[in-house]
Amino acid sequence: MIKTFESVDSLHLTGVKINYFFVCKRKLWLFDRGIQMEQESDRVLLGKLLDESSYPRRKKRRITINDLIAIDIVDEDSIREVKYSQALEKASIMQIGYYLYYLRSLGIEKKGILSYPKLRKSKEVILTEEMVCELEDAIKEIEKLISQPSPPEAVRKPYCKKCAYFEFCFG
């Protein structure tokens, strides 16, 4: 049975925040403090354009729930999240898993599909009990993380150069 969503609402825990938690905890902290540089990244812009142009014939697109969940496409039995590449796929899986988790709390059961239109690939994501535990642990950790007065140290990762905060962290 799903746990309370009090902390999800009070943390304003969006899918993007869940994604960032699995990418980099410093990135999540900075983003949560309103230091938002992603809109300057060409990759993010390209991702948004792909999202808007990839499935023009789908009827139900971009659904937002309680300002927390922004699902790219909703079908009868699935939700679909459109991604530019398979890099950092774990974060994408947990993001769509979080949407499934949130929907389950509202009594809605669906499966998730990660779509990579540029690669002509997709991946099915099912909300397993294991994923629920992982998400609930992540939510607890996020609560601790964003209450910290300063961000975690910048630790260089292979993908830092593609991150919008690169200059901020290492410039």
Nearest distance, CB of residue 125 and ligand SF4, angstroms: 23
Please, where are the H alpha helices in the chain?
Answer: 6-10, 15-23, 25-32, 42-54, 89-105, 129-147, 166-170
Which of 107, 171 has the CB closer to ligand SF4? 171
Nearest distance, CB of residue 158 and ligand SF4, angstroms: 10
Nearest distance, CB of residue 168 and ligand SF4, angstroms: 7
Nearest to 69 by CA among 91, 33, 97: 97
Strand order in the sheet with 61-65: 61-65, 69-74, 78-82, 111-116, 121-125
Which of 24, 135 has the CB closer to ligand SF4? 24
Which of 35, 46 has the CB closer to ligand SF4? 35
Which of 39, 64 has the CB closer to ligand SF4? 39
Nearest distance, CB of residue 153 and ligand SF4, angstroms: 8
Binding interface with ligand SF4 (CB under 6 A): 24, 26-27, 154-155, 157, 160, 163, 165-166, 169
Which of 26, 83 has the CB closer to ligand SF4? 26
Number of other CB atoms surrounding residue 76 within 10 Å: 6
Which residue is associated with the tokens 């909703």? Answer: 74
Number of other CB atoms surrounding residue 159 within 10 Å: 12
Whether 114 contacts 102, CB under 8 Å = no
Nearest distance, CB of residue 104 and ligand SF4, angstroms: 30
